[in-house]
Amino acid sequence: MAYSASFNPSGGGAIAGLGMTAMTRDYTKSASGLAAEAIRLAIEDAGLTKDDVDGLLINAGVTQGVSLGLQPTLGFRNLKLVNHMNAAGSTAGQMVQFASLAVQAGLATTVACVFADAPLRPGVSAGAAYGGAANRPRGMASLAPAYGFFGAANTMYALAARRHMALYGTTQDQLGAVAVSTRAWATMNPAAMQREPMTLEDYHNSRWIVEPFHLFDCTLVTNGAIAVIVTSAERARDLKQPPVYVIGMGQGHPGNPRRAGYENEVNTGAITARDTAFGMAGVGVGDVDVRELYDCYTYTTMVTLEDYGFCRKGEGGAFVADGRLGPGGSHPTNTGGGQLSGYYMWGMTPVSEAVIQTRGQGGERQVPQHDVVLVSTQGGILDHHATLILSPDPAAGTAKGSR
Amino acid sequence: MTTEAQRPVPAPDDESAPFFDGAARGVLMLQRCRDCSAFHWPVCEVCTECLRDDLEWVEASGRGTVHTFGVMHRVYHPALAKDVPYNLAVVELDEGPRVSAAMVGVSNEKIRVGMPVQVAFEEMAPGVFAPKFKPR
Ligand SMILES: [Zn+2]
């Protein structure tokens, strides 16, 4: 494994609190108001008070509704650590990483990490919020809208999926299988926005957005906020909730090389991030019990599974097709309904469900074996990747034996 | 009375003038690094391959292959409502860069990854031409 530093995972960070607002298509309040609610809920969940918080990491969504100004807005005074972080959809994983390192190094003791966004307002559709039709660029950038390249992420991920289909024979049914298994989990999650059961036929009947993506290949734009409280492993043991230890972390950023010789549409930063994260944790891919993967699109789940090594490159389609990702399957994945059927809180979607599963608080959807929980957060068009490996056991790596 | 939505059209600026001037002459222009000979798309300030900044505009072959493509059904811009479903393609030029554009002269159903293509310029606003690609 590539990882060789002296970091001691069991002496590192832990997630001690989780706060989630309602996940909704309705506009209830501003992104700052949502952030305040999520942070308050996370502090209460941990059994702490506002004054215990000495660090704040902020991640804004597409509307950039929160920024450094969130600190004075929420009345946090005399903090030891603050940043407004941006590595697109990978930021949530990165916030937990930097917070864990900060508490381990003694920069702060109790760091609130928050994502908040309210893109849906009266008169503003999901397509308008994320589609980019209001922009009027000049120069070379003016070409894309002239060709009709709108719906930025939908379009670019659809084109990436097409490349995978052409190279490896991946089928529409296989993309659909991801949508169906993810929805099956969502039916058991009260926080999920889409809880009606879905069949493969329903998937095929959902309207085209941009081929090869149907509506059910795409995430659900959501208003809401999620916060977690990161503290030291030692302190987390004395708090209210079962500690969620951060036993491994890593990042990978392929750098958007859109030129001959690179297959950036079918390879993600997980290829690099996984070696650092698994090496640090002292576990192998075969030890992972639960996968919470950034699933802005069905294709993202499939390509991410390949890049972590759950199957070989190009075999993701066949791997997901038998329903093994769903409830009762051999590879439980996106157990809260993910972003496809649950809620789109960027990287906080996989982080939040991973905290719930690691604690064993998933209720009807709890995966019985949850010693090693993998979290992937993904940004840009497969450009940025941050991995977390979480466990209820700080010595999970030792227990599994280093491989 | 409602005003019809205006179609998005290319808007050349100083930086991109050599590209759009070439397009008007029916020539695909690309930047090339004088140091390492890498070709670039779109306009860049520094060479991504060697970090030097001595770039020149040269005529490209206009040939490439379809790297990937999609077919847009959703209407994100009201002026494109009558165009859906329309195709979007990424073409890998023989010189190396990948260009986001569209295909002409072929039905959406017949577009294939790996299809050899040749540039075909289209006048998208009076005097403003942009490259699309057709099968060759
Ligand atoms: Zn160069």
Pairing mode of beta strands B86-93, B63-72: antiparallel
Of residues A315 and A257, the one with the higher pLDDT is A315
Question: The pTM is what?
Answer: 0.96
d(CA A333, CA A70): 33
pLDDT averaged over chain A?
94
d(CA B50, CA A325): 43
What tens digit of pLDDT does each residue of A244-260 get?
Answer: 999 999 999 999 888 99
pLDDT at B68 over 70: yes
- Domains of chain A by start residue, with CATH: 9-120+220-400 (3.40.47.10)
Q: Span A338-364, mean pLDDT?
A: 98
pLDDT at A1 over 50: no
What tens digit of pLDDT does each residue of A175-195 get?
Answer: 999 999 999 999 999 999 999
ipTM of the complex: 0.96
Tell me whether residue A89 is exposed, middle or buried, using C-beta atoms within 10 angstroms of its C-beta: 0 to 12, 13 to 18, 19 or more: buried
CB contact under 8 A, B8 and A211: no
**Region of residue A130 (left: phi > 0; alpha: psi -120 to 50; beta: else):** alpha
Q: What is the pLDDT of residue B1?
A: 42
A130 noted as active-site residue? no
Query: Which residues, in sequence order, are bridge partners of residue B66?
Result: B91
Tell how far CA B56 is from the center of its chain.
Answer: 19
User: Which among B42, B73, B96 is the nearest to A260, CB-wise?
Assistant: B96
Tell how far CA A278 is from the center of its chain.
Answer: 18
Chain A residues touching B73 at Cβ < 8 A:
207-211
Query: Which residues, in sequence order, are bridge partners of residue A20?
Result: A226
A344 noted as active-site residue? yes
pLDDT at A4 over 60: no
d(CA A61, CA A81): 21
pLDDT at A402 over 50: no
Q: What is the pLDDT of residue A177?
A: 98
Best residue of B41, B88, B90, B110 to probe chain A, by most A CBs closer than 10 Å: B88
**Site of tokens 């492993």:** A233
Provide the residue ranges of all domains of chain B, joining segments of one domain with +.
Answer: 17-135
Best residue of A124, A156, A210 to probe chain B, by most B CBs closer than 10 Å: A210
Q: Determine the longest span between alpha carbons in chain B, in angstroms.
A: 58
Which letter does DSSP use for residue B82 in this model? T
pLDDT tier, A136 (very low <50, low <70, confident <90, very high otherwise) = confident
